[in-house]
A and B are shown apart, each in its own frame.
Chain A
């Protein structure tokens, strides 16, 4: 078969590789809603700062009130300039990220050009929409944030943040986006900080943006049992990445430790 569109999902279907579970949108008559306790992800956030996008995520994965895993990676690099931050079911989210990564590469390799920003966003929309039957069943729902540095942007800062709803609609967020169960606690703080704080997020340098993101993750962990902040017993820090025109950079644990000790653990003296 010749695939003229460079569409990886079509290629997989043509080769009989099923990527999504074929569930009906409603449980069978007489059946019950899922009785499995699914693993879920929790707080991720992205802010547009001076050089691009800074994105952070906690490390906890929970199933009900059980902590399943304390080292979950929720910021998934898709290509050299984009990151998918996941909240929701990791089983679906990791697969989504994998399909996305392979789709972008397949398009570039087969069509001999990079997939456009709009094309990348549409691909993710389609994945989320095709996941709708699962989401309606109450399992496997994913609401991600997609952050990218757009090299073709007219703006001097090509950092862009998009968030999605469960049906796959994407919205561009000018300054920041949050997702996951802990996000309700920090969305308002971000709004406040961006509007009345010392400076707007877009003017912050990497250091300032890192402090903001780590503090907010700490705040989310304070109120949301499914979000972990810094875990001193096992020395686990949240993950933070920057996306700039030079590509994606992971902030090292040493760097996070430094920022954490200087600017997150300190509070007003009493």
Chain B
């Protein structure tokens, strides 16, 4: 039955709907450049979402935790072996996403008798002397999108667009870490709010075309305060000025509260 092209397309589309449903409630991740490197921020509930992959590469994801774990290990294993066999300088994000993660995700997405990865990933790479620096996101079907300055993943495509719009309206160049963190958190709320509205609308069986992303700062902060009662800010940086070869660093909780307390 599935060898007919139409059936196959239909099966793939069903899969698309299924995975999108599963991802909708995911907590977005915002990736942003700041004056000393790259920042990844999200709000997590108990489970860590941002990881170190290699000296200059960080990974975050939304989706099923088992899938996140499997692909995170694949990325870490590949980068570690490559870095050991030749040189850590030969490990690049482009190769990791385009040659390893992308094809793997696509293959399982289209193998309709097997299980697909329920995942969206956002990876960041700190370039050597500014070259090759930026973010790459991977969709659940294996498509790859690169952006030098900022990148987001969220529960739905609409949420991602709203977040990108919010970011492009803001001043993002040469931000110090605390301002970048604040901007990232506001962007997170924009994506999260939209995701919640859409999930509500879905469960009510209504059309969700009317949902508009919130952009009023006071309102965003209000939602953020509410969300922080049950969630925790998780942030990590790839820090150019870090003395070690290893540029990844999880932000300490006192560092985060120092940046957020008076502002919120």
Contact = CB atoms under 8 A, between A and B. Distances in A.
Interface stretch (B46-54, B103-111, B152-160, B210-218): B46-54
B48 A17 contact: no
Contacts of B244: 80
A102 B73 contact: no
B127 interface: no
A109 B48 contact: no
A112 B48 contact: yes
B261 interface: no
Contact of A109 (B70, B76, B84): B76
A108 B84 contact: no
Interface in B222-257: 243-244, 246
Most buried by A among B52, B54, B70, B80: B80
A189 to B, nearest CB: 35
B80 A102 contact: yes
A98 B52 contact: no
Interface residues of B, number: 17
B70 A106 contact: no
Interface string A67-85: 0000000000000100000
Contact of A106 (B48, B51, B80, B85): B80
A6 B11 CA distance: 38
A37 interface: no
A17 B73 contact: no
A116 interface: no
A105 to B, nearest CB: 7
A15 B54 CA distance: 18
Contacts of B81: 11-12, 15, 17
CB-based closest 8 A-B pairs: A102-B84, A106-B80, A109-B76, A109-B52, A110-B76, A15-B81, A80-B244, A11-B77
Interface of A: 1-3, 8, 11-12, 15, 17, 80, 98-99, 102, 105-106, 108-110, 112, 247
14 contacts: A2-B73, A8-B84, A12-B81, A15-B77, A102-B80, A105-B80, A109-B51, A109-B52, A109-B53, A109-B76, A109-B80, A110-B73, A110-B76, A247-B243
